[in-house]
Structure 1
Amino acid sequence: MQRSRPGTAAPRREGASASRTSLRQRYRAWLAHHRQSAADSLGRILDNPVASMMTWLVIGIAMALPAALDVGLDNARAVSDSWESPAQISLFLKDTLDPAEGEALRTELAARADIEAVVYLPREAALQEFSDLSGFADVLDSLERNPLPDVLLVTPLADGIAVEAVHRQLAADERVAEAVLDMAWLQRLNSAMELSRRLVLALAVVLVAGVVLILGNTIRLAIESRREEIVIVKLVGGSNAFVRRPFLYTGLWYGVGGGVCAALLVAVALWFLDQPVRELAQLYQSNFRLGGLGVMGSLNLVLLGGLLGLAGAWLAVSRHLGSIAPR
């Protein structure tokens, strides 16, 4: 045993020293764990291709159904927009009116400030037009009398509620047998399409909730299968955020895969229907073609799938991770 000489300082003993990590090092570690969690979770999904593909297809079908219905409504709206024309009111005059009285009514209506134009169509001209368009000339020639009335075609200046008011006023005229608003059927069609769009929105909300529950249940099973691993990580000081991160990425990959499947299913369905729709449009001398999701629509569907995956994973992890604790 050596003794220290008098007048000399005793040797200094070195103990354990605590090191501080800089903010930059913490950021690098955080970023590295994100990359590791993303790659590890994707690898675990790809290691079970059959189960993963079934999950993706279930999510894809649930997302594709409202997306396809919405695309169908957009195409129907495009067709109805091509039919838009100025509202026109057809006035079928009573048989007791002679042509002079019909012409006088035309002049009276044309002078109104809320009417743009009035065209008088005598019954003989109406019969000839119907004969040319219908192809029943021989049958019509065999009739003893002309069954068609004189018609006034009225084009109002206003639209919407104002047209309805003009229609009611003209229908109340005692010289008019019947007044038909030619745009009424299109208004009914637009109302039906708006109702359909709301039904699609309600269906989408229900199916989105179903997707979140499906993903939450999938993540819950993944948590249960890795319970022992989670306990060990918590024993060595792993935080809940550290444990939660891989499962969030698992939900993200499931959601993104489901969104890709949904976009592909919608594209295949539109491709399958494109040829029959074009043939039907050609019969009506139209160049209409089905519109699809497009690039941005498909990307939005994939993005929505990823967000739903994160929501489902967060829901499952928040509910079940707290019950796993080392004893």
Structure 2
Amino acid sequence: MSLLFENRTAAASAARPGFLSRLAMYFVRHAQQATGSLGELWRTPLASLLTIAVLGFSLTLPGTFYVLLKNIESVSSQFQKASEITLLLKDSVSTDDAAKAATRIGLYPEVAKAKLITRDEALTEFRAKSGFGEALDYLDSNPLPNVIVVEPTERNSSPQAAKALLDKLRGEREVEQGRLDLDWLKRLDALVSMARDGVSLVALLLLVTMVLVVGNTIRLMIEHRRDSINVMKMVGATDAFVRRPFLYTGLWYGLAAGCLSLLLVTLGVLWLEQSVARVVDLYGSQFRLNGLDGSEMLAVLGLSVLLGLSGAYLAVWRHLKAMEPA
């Protein structure tokens, strides 16, 4: 009796596939279902293309807004780097002492450059640019003070850091007044922050729309294949087996939509690039419009695939539960 039991156990063990065979079959089944779901899309080209177009345009808008915001932040950072602090020195400070103060301030770790403009240089510049040259001849003395123009480092060019540096420089014994126009920097930061929030809101709404479109498309596919799904469940098919082709369909929709959106965003950047170049050349700027880099493109594709899978999973989870065989 024990010999018969051992023989049966050995036969069952021999018939059971090994781990590598099961792993290989797992990937084969996935490949078959992925190919089959792609074939389903290919057999209905018009409906598939329309769905991909809707998804692609939904993803293109936030992608375009992101590119615009990225370039706006690049421009704003250049403005902030150009922020300067003007220090008006006391009338009693001589030119030599002013030069020493400029050298000392230039050694601050927060300061990139400190330039001294003597009162004579300031008067000459004012005479040339103001148009009041003849009126200045009636003055008994030069009313302008020595001035030190301080350029903060890149790390300290933000409004908050520049304000802290200004407060520090006001403590110098030669300084009478310190000036920094922070209002326009704060307004610029507020506008950029508002644009960032607006882009985030629009992107969120459009991405939710993409999930809903994929979910509704998968729902229609499930309804169309209701009978075949019920038959598969009655013969013992698991929910994972039934769910898998629809998930791959969502994956294909997301991948195609991501590729379409990248193409449209790239074409849009190329279309605007020459116009932007002509405008910035008039201002003597070196700014150039930047599109999506490689990592950002991969992020767009990954997000698109994730949204496609999410919409498909939600639709399958919701409707397969209501299709349990009697």
Q: Given the two structures, how large is their TM-score scaled by the length of structure 2?
A: 0.75
C-alpha displacement of 1:128: 4.1
Deviations 1:175-195 (A, max 9, x none): 76xx54156534542443244
DSSP-derived class of the 1:155 partner: strand
The answer (yes or no) to whether the contact 1:88–1:181 under 8 Å persists in 2 is yes
- Matched with 1:22 is 17
Asked if the contact 1:234/1:326 (under 8 Å) is kept, the reply is yes
Separation (CA, whole Å) in 2 of partners of 1:57 and 1:157: 49
- Specify whether residues 309 and 121 from structure 1 end up closer, same or farther in structure 2 by C-alpha distance, changes over 3 A only: farther
The alpha carbon displacement at 1:292 in A equals 1.0
Distance in 2 (alpha carbons) for counterparts of 1:225 and 1:236: 19
2:238 match: 239
Q: State the Cα deviation string for residues 208-231 of structure 1 (Å, max 9, x = none).
A: 222112211111111111101101
Change (3 A) 1:157 1:76: closer
- CA separation in 2, counterparts of 1:270 and 1:48? 32
Aligned residue in 2 for 1:73: 69
Which whole-Å CA distance do the structure 2 matches of 1:264 and 1:200 have between them? 20
User: Residue 209 of structure 1 aligns to a residue in which SS?
Assistant: helix
Query: What amino acid sits opposite 1:272 in the alignment?
Result: W
CA distance in 1, matches of 2:96, 2:217: 73
- Larger Cα-atom Rg: 1
Distance 1:129 1:305, change over 3 A: farther
Structure 2 unmatched runs, 5+: 1-10, 107-113
AA in 2 matched with 1:46: W
Shift of 1:164: 4.2
SS at match of 2:118: strand
Equivalent in the alignment of 2:281: 282
Equivalent position to 1:163, from 162, 165, 173: 165
Change (3 A) 1:280 1:157: closer
Instruction: Give 1:286-305 correspondences, 5 Å limit.
Output: 286-305=285-304
Change (3 A) 1:223 1:166: same
Give the equivalent residue in structure 1 for 2:254: 255
In 2, distance between residues paired with 1:184 and 1:318?
Answer: 54
Query: CA 1:86–1:300 in structure 2 vs 1: closer, same or farther (change >3 Å)?
Result: closer
Shift of 1:153: 3.6
Same amino acid, percent of matched pairs: 35
Q: Contact 1:60–1:258 (CA<8 Å) still a contact in 2?
A: yes
Deviation at 1:202? 3.3
Q: Select which of 112, 118, 121 maps to 1:120.
A: 118
The letter for the 2-side match of 1:67 is G
1:41 matched to 2:37 = yes
Shift of 1:65: 1.7
CA 1:102 to 1:184, structure 2 compared with 1: closer, same or farther past 3 Å? Answer: farther
Cα distance in structure 2, aligned partners of 1:63 and 1:111 = 56
Distance 1:165 1:290 in 2: 37
C-alpha distance in structure 2 between counterparts of 1:186 and 1:260, whole Å: 38
Residues 138-217 of structure 1 mapped to structure 2, 5 A cutoff: 140=131, 144=135, 150=144, 152-155=147-150, 159=156, 160=161, 161-166=163-168, 180-182=179-181, 185-186=184-185, 188-217=187-216
State the TM-score, normalized to the length of structure 1: 0.75
**Residues 264-283 of structure 1: CA distance to partner in whole angstroms, max 9, x if unpaired?**
11111101100011111211
Is residue 48 of structure 2 the alignment partner of residue 52 of structure 1?
A: yes
More helix by share: 2
Shift of residue 29, structure 1, vs aligned partner: 3.4
SS of match in other structure, 1:213:
helix
Q: Which runs of 5 or more structure 1 residues have no equivalent in the other structure?
A: 1-16, 132-139
Give the match's secondary structure for 1:237. Answer: coil
Does structure 2 retain, via aligned residues, the 8 Å contact 1:37–1:245?
A: yes
* Alpha carbons of structure 1 residues 181 and 78: separation in structure 2 relative to 1, 3 Å: same
Contact preservation (8 Å) 1:106, 1:120: no
